[in-house]
Every structure is written in C-alpha cells, then in structure tokens.
Structure 1
Amino acid sequence: MPRYIARLSGAVYPPPTAPPAANVFNNVPGYEGTISGGGGYLPPPMPLEPVAPPQPGPVPDNWVIPSLAEDVARDAFKSYASSHCCYSESPAKDGVITNMEPYDTFRYRLETFTESRSTEWSQKPYEGEQADFYTQTAPRPWEVPATAPELFTNHTQELRVPYTSSIKDCNICNSSGTMPCEECHGDGYKTCWACNGSGENCTSCKSTGKESCRTCDGHGTKKCTTCDGKRQLLTFIQLKVEWSNKVDDYVVQQNSGLKVDDLRSVNGKKLFQNNQFLLYPLLGFPNPAIGEASDRLIKEHQSKYAQTSRILQQRQTVELIPITKVSYKWKGDSHLYFVYGNEHQVSADNYPATCCCVVQ
C-alpha cells in the first residue's frame, strides 16, 4: 500500500499523556499543554466532498433467485441435524416436506473505513537509539507517514514521532538497573521449606534454616523490568494509528418468522455495489426502504465518525438474500425450518427430537 502524508494547518491537537519527568516536552509544537492523564483522539483533516455514485436502474430478470429445490432443502436440514450432538437425525431423514415458501429479502450494508490517530507519552529501555529531541521540528500528528492496510480491514500501527526522543535515568530503579527481589524481599534467601527454619537435623538446608532464593539465584536483586537493566530510558511521543471498518446493515422486513440476526452470518446475491471516499445515498432503488436506509445510515456514519476519525472510503452494497420456509411432517405432527443465504444455513428453533447430553 502507498505511504501518504496528510497535512492540516492551524489545527489544535489534544496533547499526549506524559510521565512526570517528561514535562520538558510540553512545548513540542503541535503537542503543547502535555499533562499527565491528557491525550486523546486528534481531529482529522477536512473531508472531501461526496461524489455522486452510479445508481441502480430497473430490476433485471437476473435479480430473481430460483426457488430452492426440495432435495437441496432436505440435504441442508440433514447437515444441520448432524452438526448437533443432541439432535436425532430421524426428523431430517424421515420427515415429509409438505410445503416450501420463498421469502427472499433485500439487505443494505454500509461500510465506512476510517483512520483515527491518538498520542501518548511512552518510554522504553534505552538501547543506543539517537536522542533527536529538538534537532528538528517534530511533524504534527497527521503529518507522520503511516502505511495504510487494505481497504475495509482493521489494523493498528504504533509509531514513534520523530524528533521527540530524549534519554533519561530510570526513575523506577534509580538508574541502578536492578530491583530488590520480591520473593525474598532482597535477602537472597528464604526460610527452609523442609524444617520451617528450625535447622534441626535438616539435610535440605544443612541445618542453617535457610535456603537460597531460586527467583533471584540468591542475589537478592533482579533486573529492573522497566529499563531491562539498561539504567536509562528513551522517552518519546508515541502515535497510535487505528484503521477500522465500521459496518451497519439494514434488512427489509420479510414476514417469514426468521430472526433478522440469523441473516448476519450469510451472504446473498449481490445486486449493486459502489465505493467512494464519501457516498451519496442510494436513489431510485425499486424497494424504497433500501433508499431510506441508505440515506439514514450515511448520515449516521458521517455524524458518528467524521469528528474523531478521517473517513478514507465508504462502500454500500445491496444483496438479495434467499429465504425458504419449509413445512414438514414427522410422526404425524407438523413442523417447520428455514433455509437461508447462499450457504444454505438452517434455523430450526423447535427441532422435534433432542436429548440431553452430558460430557464427562
């Protein structure tokens, strides 16, 4: 993916958080006012104007999904039953299908791919890196180059802001590189577990009542975990860049009885798709509910995400999702199940032959 630099002049950025010893950095241009506990998301550059997309025309014949064949519905039901350890396969194998009703429905999906940036003061063990603080003017948060992932995928990248790095002594270990062992409290030994410290005829501790601390090998100290024993820390402003794909769906009411949530995991026949930096609502779709959903969701996404994130791309898709309501008889009683999506998923809330399974 290409690298890019986005510039926003004259903006005031929320400051990153800072450790107490880093207050000297409060005057970094673009990061002023740094205080402990501050920071936050940075306002994005001004968005581009939305581009009018192509609009769907009259419904062609290939927008119609052929009716589900009875043998396909039965095979889907058998697979469903066999995937449940507590379900007998008898209803799926022996049930007699009496009716099949199609309830195909439309699903509108809006995806908004965003980039957000936040800053905080960070530190790491000093390993010889160049301390470049104030050697040049630090780039402002939206000027720092970042490599974007593939569109509509989630990804996080953490970057050290150039020209903000400084070296300081480790304040946790007082620049010694070591800390007292927590297990033996810095003594280097512990009470003998065999004699409980009495030492009487104890071969484990040779009658001393003590044993060497295994955690610190008897030294009484361990390497400082903050500076990794290096005694110094590199302190810098860290920029977190988060790419996130925000997704909202709207399914046209289909009155079959199938729960809308069941449709979230399946795909349908793709009828229309377009993507732009910013979208116009979909107009002229044969089902007016789709146009209304498009207008509502695009406005909601703009309101939710444009203030704290930069919208990089939007995509809207319309799918025709096949749904078949299957009625069948088994042992004289009537039952039903649904087959839906290109994947022929099955929903059968009241499966008539279940048992209780106990896993030992």
Structure 2
Amino acid sequence: MERPIGGNYGYGPSHGIANPLYGAPGMSAEPTTPPASMFDTIPGYEGTLAGGGGGYLPPPMPTVPMPGPEQAPTPTNWDIPSISEDKARESLQKYVSSKCCYRSAPVKDGVITSMETFNTYRYRLESFTESRTSEWSQEPYTGQVVDAGIQPAPLAWQIPTNPPAFFNDKKQTIKVPYTSSVKNCHACLGLGRGPCTTCAGAGSKVCWSCNGSGFRQAQDRCMNCRGLGRERCNSCNGHGSRECETCRGKRQMLVFINLIVKWSTEKDDFVAQQSSGLRVKNLESVSGKRLFQNAQYMLYPIMGFPDASVAQASERLVREHQRKYAQNSRILQQRQTIELIPITKVNYTWKGKSYFYFVYGNEFQVSVDDYPATCCCSVM
C-alpha cells in the first residue's frame, strides 16, 4: 500500500501548519511577568511592585506619650508545692502511653528514690503589631469599576480596616480605591489567545501509533493518523492556540493596587537561669503560676524585681521590640508577663539502675532523655 501524499484526511485546514501567533514578537508559551510600564504611578505607592509587594509602608509617628516606670510585683507566697509521687507516676504513665515504642514496666515497677523541685521565672514580652504593604494586582476585565484618576488614592494608613482583638493574628487584603485601570493583557498582547505549548502552535503532533512514519507493520498505513504521520493536538483541538490563561480570553486586564494588612503577635521569652538540667525549649509549651501581668499601648521595663536577671531582660526586650517593630509597623498593644514555672526532677530505679525524668508546668508535661524500656516498631 502506497503512502498517501497530500490531503487533510478529516483534519482542519490548519492541521500540521505552524500557528502564525507562535513566535510573534513578545509572545511566549508561558505567561510573563507584567512589565513595569503596565502600571501607572500612584502618589504614595511609588515603590509598589507586581505580585512581590512594595516593601513596608511606614506608619505615622505615634502621638501617645511614653509610659512611666513599671513597679515590680511585691513578693508574696511564690513557692509552688512539690507534686506527689502518685502525680509523678501518673504523668509518666500518660507520657509513655503516647509512645508506641515505650513499654510501661518502668512505670509500674520502678521505685522513686527522690524528687527535686526547681521553680524558675519566665518573663514574656508580646507586641501586637499592624503592618501594611502594597502590591500591584490584576484580574481579567469583565466590566469592573475603573476609577483611576478620578481623585487621588488614599494613603495606605488612611484606609479603614477591620482589626481583630488584641493578640489575635489576622490578615486582610483591601483593594485601594482610585487605582483601578484597564490595560491590554501582557501575556497575549490583547489577542485573548496564546500558542499551544503541547504542539508548539502547529495544531498537530507526531502520531503516537506510528511515531511519525505514517505506516505500521507490513507497510500498512497507520489508521490512527491515516498515514499523515501526525495527529490533531487534543489540547488545542488543532487550532494551534489556546485561550489565554492570564486574561481568560477577555483580552484586557483590570490592574489595581492591593493593600495587605497584617496583624501579628511578636513574642520573646526569657527564662531565668535554672539548674534542673531541663532544656529551656521545653518550657515554651507550658504555663506556670502567673505572678505579674501588665498590658497597655506601650510598656516601660519592669523595675525592682527580686531576680535582677528578669528586670534586665525586661529592659533589653522592651528596647529591642521598639527598635525592631516600630519602624515598619504600628505597635497597637504590648503585654508583659512573669510566671513561676514548676519543674520537678524525679529520680527512680528500675532493674538495679538509676534513671530520672522531669515533670514541669501546670500541664504536668514530661521530658525523658533515657527511657529504659523501648522497642523497635516496624510498619509492614
């Protein structure tokens, strides 16, 4: 059987023909980053970039006066009673039960020989901040309001927001009024379509059945491509182009500035030196007996606390928070807390050897570095 020459054999007239759009100046198979010329200059938002933000927009200078010194709490009964042996054993049992490879024999048969109590202070400073950034955004134009140039756009910190309660993080995106304009789609040059990436704009691709030869075994003409060696591209239905993914075929884009407002809680802890041996990181997830707490717009360091290291940490962290967060964000509220966190080191013996573990915090969390009865688990 001879290989046919010519004819489209049911394919469209563009089948196998290079798409005239493909390779046109400025065209590419993938959407490109919008050029800077696509965006107008808006007073107050000159540094705004497309999709990548324009950096933090500095807040106005605060008008609230600095607070006065904060007097340290008066020492009262700050000692926390040691936990009982039953509570120590119960806490370890709960911890072991949460571990698939830990056996409970040391909990049941181990003998508690002593319990040491270590109470340590934790100072915590929290600053609840609001920051504002801007970025150029775009969406297919379908008749939305176009208001750029009608009047000056409001400055970033003049735009009203819906803030959360203090120390509750939140993010809000607001379209800045009087920044919306219509531009031709940069990805398809306003054509609404772009070259098909599957067939490189040809409308067809090499036949998978005959690998482009047009024939199968015994010189039989390939029935899949009817001997052409190419088959219609299913991705674009033989057109060589597809609807532009950026403008969704609308040819134009609405471009505007988005204001991104973030409320976040910035937190730093200081744990007074303690000799229990428990890692300080363990204390991050537990609470203690609250000795002092103060919250206001702006805090002054604590003075005169019995443990001098706590007062020094308060002064250092308050200063650092002002330096780190007041430049690019607005501090809405600060809160400082002093807690007394209970730590109990439980020493015990099992099978003639000595071991220990820690029980700490109001939650009675357990930390074990060397549990004596573990096994290897495997998942089949």
Q: TM-score, normalised by structure 1?
A: 0.88
* Distance in 1 separating the partners of 2:57 and 2:345: 50
Shift of 1:260: 0.4
d(CA) in 2 for partners of 1:246 and 1:34? 26
Distance 1:294 1:159 in 2: 36
1:31 is aligned to: 45
CA-based RMSD of the aligned residues comes to 2.3
Q: Secondary structure at the match of 2:303?
A: coil
Shift of 1:99: 0.4
Aligned to 1:109: 124
**Pick aligned residue for 2:98 from 78, 83, 90:** 83
Q: State the alpha-carbon separation in 2 of the partners of residues 169 and 92 from structure 1.
A: 72
Paired residues in the alignment total 341
Per-residue displacement from partner, 1:130-166 (whole Å, max 9, x unpaired)? 1111101110111111211232132222222111111
Q: Distance in 2 between matches of 1:95 and 1:76?
A: 14
Contact 1:18 1:34 in 2 (8 A): no
Q: Which of the numbers 60, 79, 100 marks the counterpart of 2:76?
A: 60
User: Which residues in structure 2 correspond to 1:146-225 (within 5 Å)?
Assistant: 146-200=161-215, 201=220, 202-225=222-245
Instruction: Report how far residue 205 of structure 1 moved.
Output: 3.6
Q: Give the Å deviation of 1:52.
A: 4.0
Select the structure of larger CA radius of gyration: 2
**2:101 partner SS:** coil
**Do structure 1's residue 46 and structure 2's residue 66 form an aligned pair?**
no
Which residue identity is paired with 1:309?
S
Query: 1:38 & 1:338 partners in 2: Cα distance?
Result: 47
CA distance in 1, matches of 2:49, 2:318: 37
Question: Could you tell me how far 1:79 is from its partner in structure 2?
Answer: 1.8
One-letter identity of the residue aligned with 1:101: E
Query: CA distance change for structure 1 residues 256 and 288 in 2, over 3 Å: closer, same or farther?
Result: same
Matches within 5 A, 1:320-359: 320-359=340-379
Kindly indicate whether the alpha-carbon contact (under 8 Å) linking 1:273 and 1:317 is maintained by their aligned counterparts in 2. Answer: yes
Instruction: Tell me how far apart the structure 2 counterparts of residues 238 and 60 of structure 1 sit (CA, whole Å).
Output: 53
> Is residue 259 of structure 2 the alignment partner of residue 243 of structure 1?
no
Q: Quote the offset at 1:56 in angstroms.
A: 4.6
Q: CA deviation at 1:213?
A: 2.3
Q: CA deviation at 1:207?
A: 4.0
Counterpart amino acid of residue 324 in structure 1: T
**Which residue in 2 is equivalent to 1:291?**
311
| Offset at residue 311 of structure 1 (A) | 0.7
**Displacement of 1:32 after TM fit?**
4.2
How many angstroms does 1:216 deviate by?
2.6
Which structure 2 residues correspond to residues 311-322 of structure 1 after superposition, within 5 A?
A: 311-322=331-342
**Runs (5+) with no aligned partner, structure 1:** 1-16
- Is the CA contact (8 Å cut-off) linking 2:49 and 2:136 kept in structure 1? no
Cα gap change, 1:334/1:309 in structure 2, threshold over 3 Å: closer, same or farther? same
Q: Cα offset for 1:34?
A: 6.6
Per-residue CA deviations over 1:315-343 (Å, capped at 9, x if unaligned) read 11111111100000000011100001111
Candidates 287, 290, 297, aligned match of 1:277: 297
| Aligned-partner Cα distance in 1 for 2:243–2:34 | 25
Q: 1:309 aligns with which of 329, 338, 348?
A: 329
- For residue 33 of structure 1, report the CA deviation from its aligned partner: 6.8
Between stretches 189-198 and 32-41, larger displacement belongs to 32-41
Determine the structure 2 residue equivalent to 1:8: none
Counterpart in 1 of 2:7?
none
* 1:18 to 1:274, Cα distance in 2 relative to 1, 3 A: farther
In the alignment, structure 1 residue 123 sits paired with structure 2 residue 123: no
Identity %: 57
**CA, structure 1 residues 166+213, in 2 after alignment: closer, same or farther (shift >3 Å)?**
same
* 2-structure distance, mates of 1:189, 1:150: 59
Q: 1:115 to 1:325 in 2, by over 3 A?
A: same
Q: How far does the alpha carbon of each residue in 1:210-240 deviate from its partner, in whole angstroms, 9 at most, with x for none?
A: 3332323333222212112211011122222
Distance 1:51 1:127, change over 3 A: farther
Instruction: State the TM-score, normalizing by the size of structure 2.
Output: 0.83
User: What CA distance in whole angstroms lies between the structure 2 residues aligned with 1:75 and 1:320?
Assistant: 23
Q: Is the deviation greater in 217-226 or in 307-316? A: 217-226
**Consecutive unaligned residues in structure 2, runs of 5 or more:** 1-32
Pairwise CA distance, 1:41: 1.1
Give the Cα–Cα distance (whole angstroms) in 2 for the partners of residues 253 and 33 of structure 1.
Answer: 46
Aligned equivalents of 2:288, 2:237: Cα separation in 1: 63
- Name the CA shift for 1:220/1:22 in 2 (closer, same or farther; >3 Å): closer
How many Å apart are 1:312 and its aligned residue? 0.9
